[in-house]
Structure 1
Amino acid sequence: MNGEVPNIKKWVVFYPVYINSKKTVAAGRRISLTKACENPTCAEIADCCSHLKLANAIEIDKAYPRDFMQRGRVRVQLRKEDGTLYNPAISSRKQLMLHVAELIPRHPGRTKKQETPATSSIAGSSKSGKSGRKRR
């Protein structure tokens, strides 16, 4: 940018609850359960928006009215000042939610967390299973 501070008040507001598969539509989920992801965080949403080449800002002091215990939301800039899209694949808030919900399960922070406990439990059960078979 040319030294200007962007006016984030015009950017789209994105609460994690919008794509949380653990929430109901009444609790604030806005996409179908099959496309939603489990417990997304503001940081993951912001990373996914950056990956999609969209400017974003995390607002930690804000909360979704129906779920005020979970703090934080992400503001995302879909359009430039002249009205053209930053990412032609994402022209609406709904498309943004669907793209981000698709990316979050593959987020590096999530894939590392899932691999560690899963591999140790599989390895432990297979070792004990093999040794039991050899003795017989």
Structure 2
Amino acid sequence: MNRPAVPATAPRPMPPGLRELYYPSPLRPRPSYRGNPGLILLGAVFWAASLLPVACAVVLLGLAMVWGAAAGEPVGDLLMTLAGVGAVWAAVLAAVAFAPGIRGLPASGRFAVVGAVNCLVTAGMAVWAAS
């Protein structure tokens, strides 16, 4: 069987958009996704400052619910209320994170901004509960 060494038809050239999409240049440096370390540290401080009191309150409420359930008291309403508050607050934080003005920030900036909002509201609720 005799095959030609060259194909009968020349391959069609790839359009420029597909060429950049499927064959990235090895000379172009890859973007760095590490973010700003200062913003990451600031966001971590905000999140730690807001989640530590919440964790303590959840543990105390959990113990109270277990003791109440052991005493025969209904705890379903309180549990559903707490789950609803947590779900609403998670939705609010997601809405803040994906707001048009915040969406343009890098991930480290969004982490810090959402952490600051969470810290302010958590501190406000703690002051309100203490008064």
In the superposition, the TM-score normalised over structure 1's length comes to 0.22
| Structure with a larger share of its residues in helix | 2
In terms of fraction of residues, the more strand-rich structure is 1
Q: Which has the higher contact order (CA 8 A, sep 6+)?
A: 2
